[in-house]
Amino acid sequence: MTPIKDCIINKKIHCKPIWFMRQAGRYLPEFREIRKKNQNFIQLCLNKELSSEITLQPLKRFKIDAAIIFSDILIVPYGLGQKVEFKKDFGPILGDIDLNIFKKIEEENFTKKLNSIYESLKLTSENRLLNNKDLIGFVGAPWTILVYMLNKQSPKKKITSSLFNNEKLIDELLILIKKFLKIHIKNQVKRGASIIQIFDSWAGLVEEKKISKYIYDPTLEIVEYVKSLNVPAICFPREIKDYKEFCEVTKPDAVNIDYNVDPKEIIKNIKIPVQGGLDPKILLTDKETLKKETLKYLEIFKNHPYIFNLGHGVLPETNPEMVEYLVKTVKEYK
């Protein structure tokens, strides 16, 4: 069994496996070389050879325990027929919503449109670098996908309070999102994904009275679907107010915590395996600070099933040498 699955399924605490969100990305010079020649981000995700190459780049550099497929959570709206493009120094820009078009999309057409991603997973899963390592597939949680589709850009750029007034539209859209997230998950697992991570990047935006409708209920449905495929589900409900309640209601196999939460509170309240927590900005400091902060998490979760990761993705300005030092610190921890 792979180290990560051993931690999640068997609740083993003897080792602390490690991987990083956004480990295949802009902080690596070899990725930047590819990106320079491939300006269209969505098309890069859909290039099976390059996507696989990018996915494997961090495994060539670091002694990490998993690859995460190079793709994007917005590939699902793209598959549904919503225009999705990435503008340099701005982020994603999405087109208008047309429910009539979305409702006509058949599973076969959706799968065909995104087939290069599934081929990339197959290609990657067959690579010798994956020996005794997991290949992580992923989706955005229903709420986060809904936010992007309605807002048409990242909420950190701008979001309007009236966005969620049209409940009929939201209800219909959520049904479609959940349906196609399941199809996307099934296709990833079929082609080699051994774990699915569910990213709820904007979970912190939901007001308390609507948390069941927008976070708990739809996430539980997706988690249960992942489990039905016999692969573990890791949830990352970034900036959610109550991690304990989230875990009790949605029942993931493991939970990724963000860097704003106190790990000492997490260890007191959460029984399932925990992943992540370290602030990615710590990687921008010095080795002494990085080692101190890394050991803090390792000590807190010493007697708890724990996968070392960050509280968000690796930042573009990160020096790969610092990532290597972090991996070495975790691997040498006893």
Sequential DSSP letters for 257-321: EPTTS-HHHHHHH--S-EEE-B-GGGGGS-HHHHHHHHHHHHHHTTTS-EEB-BSSPPPTT--HH
The whole-number pLDDT of residue 67 equals 98
The whole-number pLDDT of residue 15 equals 86
Positions of the chain with pLDDT under 50: none
Reported as a single tens digit per residue, the pLDDT across 24-49 is 999 999 999 999 999 999 999 999 99
d(CA 199, CA 18): 18
Reported as a single tens digit per residue, the pLDDT across 288-325 is 999 999 999 999 999 999 999 999 999 999 999 999 99
Report whether 140 contacts 148 (CB < 8 A). Answer: yes
Q: At what angle do helices 167-190 and 142-151 cross, to 10 degrees?
A: 120
E strand or H helix that includes residue 198: strand 195-200
pTM of the model as a whole:
0.97
d(CA 70, CA 143): 22
The whole-number pLDDT of residue 89 equals 80
The whole-number pLDDT of residue 165 equals 84
Length of the chain: 334
- Count Cα atoms within 13 angstroms, Cβ side, for 332: 9
Task: Provide the CA 62 distance to its chain's centre, in angstroms.
Answer: 19
* Domains of the chain in sequence order: 3-332 (3.20.20.210)
The whole-number pLDDT of residue 207 equals 87
